[in-house]
Amino acid sequence: MERRKFVVGLGALASGSAAAVGTGAFTSVTAERSVSVTVAGDNSAYLGLSAVGPNSDYVDKSSGEVSISLDGLEDSSSGSGTGVNPDATTVIEECLRIENQGTQEVELDLTGTGVVSAGTSDPGADSDTVGIYIDNTSSSATEVDDDTAQLPVGEYVDLSVEVETSSGTGTLSGTLTVEANADSDSGESAGPS
């Protein structure tokens, strides 16, 4: 019996010494891993952007990237207009769809620069402005306001455009920024959204 106590005590002493000194430590590791990224067109990406509905001719789909273009319908089979009217309000309803094709719910935020004002359906008649706003959502998407929505996986929002022009002709341009981030309350990162 004394021999068994001695062996157990020796084992405890050895493990305590190893823990104090540290085992298996290393200074540096370099490891190579493969990474595969497919760059898809806007309609196939994790955050899908695509033309929708009867006003889809106003969405330019060239080179895999979509943009809203109200500067002519020469290539369209449904019309031959070349722009919006001066001193008028022009509304193009539900022309661009944004769909969450990723793996987790995201918060969608729209911002505009230049003449683009995101989140408003009444950009103001005092100057030439383009208002882009969320006009329609799928059943489980939640519109927070005209420029923010919660998009569960597989859900979408449709955007509409309202153009306010003063007198005269010319070209209006600006940029719409679409940002999607995973819900910050869940503690998860956005990943490939």
Give me the tens of pLDDT residue by residue for the chain, a chain 193 residues long: 565 555 455 555 555 555 555 556 778 888 888 787 878 888 889 999 999 999 998 888 877 788 888 876 655 566 677 788 888 899 999 999 999 999 999 999 999 998 888 877 666 556 788 889 999 899 899 988 889 999 999 999 999 999 888 877 778 888 999 999 986 554 444 444 3
The half-sphere exposure of 162 on its side-chain side, counting CA atoms within 13 A, is 17
What is the tally of helices (H) and strands (E) in the chain? 1, 11
Domains of the chain: 47-186 (2.60.40)
List beta partners, residue 68.
59
DSSP state of 12: H
Q: What is the pTM of this model?
A: 0.74
The dihedral region occupied by 22, where left means phi > 0, alpha psi between -120 and 50, and beta the remainder, is left
For the range 16-23, what are the long-range contacts, defined as Cβ-Cβ under 8 Å and sequence gap of 24 or more? none
CA distance 147 to 164: 18
CA distance 67 to 50: 9
List beta partners, residue 127.
none
Residue with tokens 């620069």: 113
What is the pLDDT at residue 63? 77
What is the pLDDT at residue 146? 86
What is the pLDDT at residue 187? 41
CB 119 within 8 A of CB 109: no
What is the pLDDT at residue 154? 95
